[in-house]
């Protein structure tokens, strides 16, 4: 188990280095001069040159990459060219917003997905099951930013129930909770359909298991069988998928944050890319890649610890 | 734990939830009443007037710092009035005397605003590598008479100095002591403030809040607080306005027709001629465009009305150059004012350029792409194939930049637009020969233009200046390097009971906003 954990962590580190090197190369392949963009159409060539120097863009790419990794090892993700604030500070300031959005989105999607999946099993092969199937596939295929725009139009513009932009007033929990509803809905809605289908498929398999047949033989109601016995088993593969899916949730959050002008990693990185603010782009990508790898690695280690079959494979 | 559910229970809970949601009162995003909520398109980057770049970079110092004079609404002709100056008057053609108002003081321990601060503020920008050095091109020095009085000396007569240099950007006064203590410049933290508002909070990429300055002795602004909401996209911003996220926002030109048809309740629309000028750059240095007949063919094939109708909903007329029509100095007409496709074809045949294929670079926004597509169709009628190359902001500004490689020599066609100034020289400056490889992407290189530009800077006779500007624009058009499109309309929506003030650069002046 320890050897597996070390191997897994080593692999994560390697992925991180490969991603960052590729990212660095890509950043410099993208056309566009950050100094020209940042300083606007009236900047003098001298001013632009000075900014390029400040951003380290006058150095060879390899030097820049080595310098970047050297700093990262010392816990320094760089400094924002404009605000002169440490990139890490900026990330830590907005990351909780993205994390909360992701967790709430995944949370409500899981609850709804489980309920709908179970309902589909209880009403299997009926019209309701088919309708739930169509509905699930439909919401899976709608991109989160489209849901976000329509949610914004309906609930913020027409009905005026919820705020259209922002993350709510600082220190006002109710305001922050209201500001979270639409973005979390938009990010999570696709996962409701996905999880509902997943739960239904797992449940149908479990419902054929001997212990379920035994429960039926004892005269238990179908609802009790589904919620008390089948779901416990059927939900295991779903949980392992959730860890991997959290990455996709965070990607959706990037788009949704832009639609709702909500502070978070999405708006931070979008603004940085638009302005070619390289230190912020690199620092944010590194942070998010590391975070995602940590989640996936933790999930893998947890599964290895909990699932005896995986333990057996590791031993062999 | 035993957990169970039944259909009735679920329906009851869902019904209660929906009822509760319906009962939520209309969400008020910010404190109302004495709070002014404005939407801006991007977060600020540099607040030091030396390095100001964009929209919010200039709006915030308007609130937290002072300028000697301040401009009025662009719709009222950009009239200037003394602001930090109690008195400002020309002693002669090259000497401008000013006296600061009493009671202006810096935050912190930096004391009153002095004439020495004015001298420091202007002279640190003049002749420097600041983007705003051009504002002080004619500044010789600022002579300090006493704490509150001084004389601005110019190298030669230049009447527009007051409106070009003093009201905004580099014209903002900073505290010499505070800036020097900060190391000579600053970015996001203003070391000392003296305006009607003070910088309060900043939520990066989301919101900036200013609060009233209790020590401000001038005319009190109408609002206790000003909140700026950062929303990049115009259409998203319009939706958020309709959801009562703020009181004022610019909107996309394409939204005009929709808004005129159905204005949001309680809202008013500002529809005014703007100072931002748009044109098509034809790079006469690019190989396929070196023959003037080819460039002229493009000018003849261009359908100005189609572009105005298609991209601007017919809200504006065709421009005759880069000098704003509202300035009174604009040309009466273009040299090639009428479309003539047959003539374009004949010119191409004469130049042996049939089957010409060109790249047209345009920003990715809706208006730019619409214009590009219309031009593509226009030129196709004359037998020119246009490949549209959409580029994002960052890549776009490198196209004609000589420090970004050799590409600037061979770019072919580019759709461009610049924010304009009040005096024509502020717009004409970018087409001087020394701007080739910087902002003169047409490679327009005219000695006569340069000499007229220099002469127009000091000429005091308005008619003579008009003739000079008209001739300069004739030269631009005759070179074949330009197709003038229009001065883009300014569109914004705001609460009907709000009286906004928009400055010449299209940015709001929150200090002057008031309730009707």
- Give tens-digit pLDDT for A183-222: 999 999 988 998 999 889 888 888 888 888 888 888 888 8
pTM of the predicted model, to two decimals? 0.79
Which contiguous run of DSSP H or E holds residue B39? strand B35-40
Q: Given CB atoms, is B262 within the 8 Å cutoff of chain A?
A: no
The answer to whether B171 and B165 are in contact (CB under 8 A) is yes
Q: Residue B193's pLDDT is what? A: 98
Structure tokens, B350: 């004469």
CB contact under 8 A, A82 and B187: yes
Q: Give percent of chain A above pLDDT 90.
A: 15
Query: Among B171, B93, B98, which residue's Cα sits nearest to residue B134?
Result: B171
Closest CA to A255 of A265, A246, A247: A265
Assess whether pLDDT exceeds 90 at residue A263. no
Q: How far apart are CA B50 and CA B169, in angstroms?
A: 8
Q: Which helix (H) or strand (E) holds B88?
A: strand B85-92
Q: What pLDDT score does B16 carry? A: 54
Closest among A298, A250, A286, A267 to A93, alpha carbons compared: A267
Asked if B242 reaches chain A (Cβ–Cβ under 8 Å), the answer is yes
Contact flag A32-B438 (C-beta cutoff 8 Å): no
C-alpha–C-alpha distance, residues B372 and B370, integer Å:
5
Judge: A156–B243 Cβ closer than 8 Å, yes or no: yes
pLDDT of residue A40: 63
Instruction: Give the three-state DSSP class for B82.
Output: strand
Annotate B271-301 with three-state secondary structure. EEEEEEEEEEEECCCCHHHCCHHHHHHHHHH
State how far the Cα of B282 lies from the Cα of B442, in Å rounded to an integer.
5
d(CA A26, CA A5) in angstroms, rounded, equals 31
- Six token digits for residue B188: 């996001």
Of A45, A94, A261, the CB nearest to B230: A261
- Compute CA distances B5 → A128, A218, A221, A224, whole Å: 18, 21, 13, 10
Q: What is the DSSP letter of A225?
A: I
Beta-strand relationship, B35-40 and B225-230? parallel
CA distance B199 to A181: 31
* Residue ranges in chain B modelled with pLDDT below 50: 1-5, 7, 10-11, 14, 18-33
What distance in Å separates the CA atoms of residue B40 and residue B306, rounded to the nearest whole number?
31
Whether residue B239 and residue A276 make contact (CB cut-off 8 A), yes or no, is no
Interface test with A, best of B46, B137, B398 (most A CBs within 10 A): B398
Q: What percent of chain B has a predicted confidence (pLDDT) above 70?
A: 93
Number of Cβ within a 10 Å radius of residue B178: 21
CATH says A93-274 is which class? mainly alpha
**Cβ-based contacts of B134 with chain A (< 8 Å):** 42
pLDDT (mean) for A246-261: 82
Best residue in A31, A174, A280 to probe B by mutation, most B CBs within 10 Å? A31
| Both structure tokens of B470 | 């008209």
Q: Which residues of chain A neighbour B30 with C-beta distances below 8 Å?
A: 169
Q: Please name the residue that has the structure tokens 């110019």.
A: B154
Nearest CA in chain A to B234: A259
Find the residue in A nearest to B206 (Cα). Answer: A263
- Whether the CB-CB separation of A277 and A11 falls below 8 Å is answered with no
Structure tokens at B30: 């910010």
A7 class by beta-carbon count within 10 Å (0-12 exposed, 13-18 middle, 19+ buried): exposed
Q: Which of A79-88, A173-182, B361-370, B465-474 has the lowest mean pLDDT?
A: A79-88
Q: Chain A partners of B229 at a C-beta cutoff of 8 Å? A: 165-166, 261
Q: How far is the C-alpha of B197 from the C-alpha of B135, rounded, in Å?
A: 25
Greater model confidence, B426 or A82: B426
ipTM over 0.90: no
Smallest Cα distance from A312 to chain B, Å: 32
| Residue B54 sits at the chain A interface (C-beta within 8 Å) | yes
In chain A, what is the straight-line distance between the N-terminal and C-terminal CA atoms, in Å? 11
Chain A residues in contact with B239 by the CB 8 A cut-off are: 149, 152-153, 156-157, 164
Partner-chain contact A82 B24, CB within 8 Å:
no
Question: Would the CB atoms of B398 and A32 count as touching at under 8 Å?
Answer: yes
Residue of B nearest to A49 (CA): B403
DSSP of B303-335: -HHHHHHHHHTT-SPPPSSSS-GGGT---SS-S
* Rounded mean pLDDT, A121-142: 88
Quote the minimal CA–CA distance from B252 to chain A in Å. Answer: 16
**DSSP state, B220?**
P
Q: Taking 90 as the threshold, does the pLDDT of residue A274 lie above it? A: no
Task: For residue B28, give the chain A residue with the closest CA.
Answer: A163
Q: Which residues of B touch A268 (CB under 8 A)?
A: 204-205
Tens of pLDDT, residues B73-118: 998 888 999 999 999 999 999 999 999 999 999 999 899 999 999 9
- CA torsion sign for B340, B343, B347, B349 is positive
Nearest to B240 among A41, A47, A164 (CB): A164
Judged by CB atoms within 8 Å, which residues 433-452 of B form the interface with A? Answer: 438-439
- A31-51 pLDDT, tens digit per residue, is 666 676 666 656 667 777 777
The model's pLDDT over A222-236, given as tens digits with 9 standing for 90+, comes to 888 888 888 878 877
3-class SS of residue B213: coil
Query: Is the minimum CB–CB distance between B155 and chain A shorter than 8 Å?
Result: no
- At residue B10, the pLDDT reads 46
Q: Contact A49/B397, CB-based, under 8 Å?
A: no
CB contact under 8 A, A274 and B393: yes
- Which of B26, B187, B397 comes nearest A160 by C-beta? B26
Query: B516 CB near a chain A CB, below 8 Å?
Result: no
Average pLDDT over residues A260-267: 88
Q: Which residues of B490-510 are buried (b: 16+ CB within 10 A; e: fewer)?
A: bbbbbbeebebbbbbbbbbbb
Q: DSSP letters of B332-364?
A: SS-SS-S--HHHHHHHHHHTT-TT-EEEEEEES
Q: Give the C-alpha separation, B422 to B274, whole Å.
A: 11
Contact across the interface for A43 and B131, Cβ inside 8 Å: yes
Q: Distance between CA atoms of B463 and B469, rounded to whole angstroms?
A: 10
Question: Looking at CA atoms only, how far is residue A224 from chain B in angstroms?
Answer: 8
Q: How far apart are CA A115 and CA B160, in angstroms?
A: 72
State the Cα angle at B322 between B321 and B324, rounded to 5°. 100
Residues of B in contact with A223 (CB under 8 A): 4
Binding-face residues of B in 293-352 toward A, CB within 8 A: none
pLDDT at B49: 94
pLDDT category of residue A169 using cuts at 50, 70 and 90:
confident
pLDDT at B373: 96
User: Is 80 exceeded by the pLDDT of residue A312?
Assistant: no
Task: Give the residue extent of every domain in chain A.
Answer: 2-73, 93-274
Are A41 and B397 an interchain contact pair (Cβ–Cβ within 8 Å)?
yes
User: Which of A40, A83, A167 has the CB atom closest to B131's CB atom?
Assistant: A40
């Amino acid at each position: 188990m320890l050897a597996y954990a070390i191997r897994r962590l080593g692999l994560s580190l390697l992925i991180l280095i490969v991603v960052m090197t590729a990212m660095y190369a890509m950043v410099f392949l993208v056309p566009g001069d950050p100094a020209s963009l940042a300083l606007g159409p009236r900047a003098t060539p001298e001013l632009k040159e000075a900014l390029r120097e400040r951003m380290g863009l006058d150095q060879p790419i390899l030097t820049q990459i080595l310098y970047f990794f050297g700093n990262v090892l010392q816990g320094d993700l760089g400094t924002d060219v404009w605000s002169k604030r440490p990139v890490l500070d900026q990330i830590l300031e907005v990351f909780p917003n993205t994390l909360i959005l992701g967790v709430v989105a995944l949370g409500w999607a899981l609850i709804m997905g489980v309920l709908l999946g179970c309902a589909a099993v209880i009403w299997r092969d009926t019209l309701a099951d088919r309708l739930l199937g169509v509905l699930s596939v439909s919401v899976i295929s709608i991109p989160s930013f489209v849901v976000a725009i329509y949610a914004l139009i309906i609930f913020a513009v027409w009905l005026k129930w919820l705020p259209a932009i922002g993350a709510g007033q600082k220190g006002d929990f109710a305001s922050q909770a209201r500001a979270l509803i639409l973005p979390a809905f938009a990010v999570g809605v696709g996962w409701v359909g996905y999880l509902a289908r997943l739960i239904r498929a797992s449940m149908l398999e479990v419902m054929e298991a001997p212990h379920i047949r035994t429960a039926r033989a004892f005269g238990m109601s179908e609802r009790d069988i589904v919620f008390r016995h089948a779901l416990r088993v059927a939900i295991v593969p779903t949980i392992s998928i959730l860890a991997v899916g959290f990455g996709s949730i965070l990607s959706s959050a990037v788009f949704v944050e832009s639609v709702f002008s909500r502070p978070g990693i999405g708006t931070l990185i979008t603004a940085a890319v638009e302005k070619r603010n390289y230190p912020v782009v690199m620092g944010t990508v590194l942070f998010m890649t590391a975070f995602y790898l940590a989640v996936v690695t933790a999930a893998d280690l947890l599964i290895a610890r909990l699932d005896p079959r995986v333990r057996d494979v590791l031993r062999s | 734990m035993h957990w169970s559910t039944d259909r009735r229970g679920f329906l009851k809970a869902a019904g209660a939830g929906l009822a509760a949601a319906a009962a939520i009162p209309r969400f008020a995003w910010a404190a109302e009443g004495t709070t002014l909520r404005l939407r801006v398109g991007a977060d600020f980057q540099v607040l030091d007037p030396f390095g100001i770049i964009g929209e919010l970079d200039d709006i915030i110092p308007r609130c937290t710092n002072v300028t000697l004079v301040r401009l009025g609404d662009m719709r009222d002709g950009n009239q200037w009035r003394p602001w930090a100056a109690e008195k400002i008057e020309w002693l002669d053609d090259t000497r401008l005397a000013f006296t600061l108002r009493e009671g202006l003081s810096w935050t912190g321990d930096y004391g009153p605003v002095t004439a020495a601060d004015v001298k420091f503020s202007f002279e640190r920008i003049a002749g420097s590598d600041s983007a705003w050095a051009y504002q002080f091109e004619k500044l010789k020095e600022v002579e300090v008479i006493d704490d509150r009085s001084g004389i601005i000396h110019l190298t030669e007569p230049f009447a527009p100095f007051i409106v070009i240099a003093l009201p905004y950007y580099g014209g903002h006064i900073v505290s010499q002591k505070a800036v020097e203590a900060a190391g000579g410049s600053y970015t996001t933290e203003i070391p000392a403030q003296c305006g009607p508002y003070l910088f309060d909070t900043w939520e990066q990429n989301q919101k900036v809040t200013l609060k009233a300055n209790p020590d401000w002795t001038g005319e009190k602004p109408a609002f206790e607080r000003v909140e700026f909401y950062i929303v990049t996209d115009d259409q998203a911003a319009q939706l958020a306005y309709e959801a009562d996220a703020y009181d004022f926002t610019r909107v996309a030109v394409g939204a005009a027709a929709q808004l005129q048809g159905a204005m949001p309740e309680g809202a008013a629309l500002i529809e005014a001629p703007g100072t931002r000028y748009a044109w098509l750059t034809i790079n006469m240095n690019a190989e396929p465009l070196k023959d003037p007949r080819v460039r002229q063919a493009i000018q003849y094939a261009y359908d100005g009305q189609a572009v105005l109708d298609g991209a601007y909903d017919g809200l504006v007329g065709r421009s005759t150059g880069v000098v704003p029509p509202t300035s009174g100095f604009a040309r009466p007409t273009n040299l090639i004012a009428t479309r003539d496709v047959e003539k374009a074809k004949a010119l191409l045949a004469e130049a042996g350029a049939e089957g010409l294929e060109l790249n047209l670079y345009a920003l990715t926004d809706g208006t730019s792409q619409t214009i590009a597509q219309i031009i593509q169709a226009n030129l196709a009628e004359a037998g020119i194939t246009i490949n549209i190359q959409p580029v994002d902001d960052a890549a776009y500004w490198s196209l004609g930049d000589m420090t970004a490689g050799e590409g600037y020599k061979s770019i072919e066609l580019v759709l461009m637009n610049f924010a304009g100034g009040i005096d024509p020289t502020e717009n004409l400056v970018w087409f001087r020969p020394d701007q080739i490889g910087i902002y003169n992407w047409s490679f327009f290189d005219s000695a006569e233009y340069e000499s007229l530009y220099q002469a127009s800077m000091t000429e005091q006779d308005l008619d003579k200046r008009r003739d000079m500007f008209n001739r300069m624009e004739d030269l631009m058009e005759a070179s074949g390097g330009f197709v003038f499109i229009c001065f883009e309309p300014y569109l914004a929506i705001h609460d009907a009971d709000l009286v906004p003030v928009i400055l010449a650069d299209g940015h709001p002046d929150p200090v002057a906003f008031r309730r009707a």
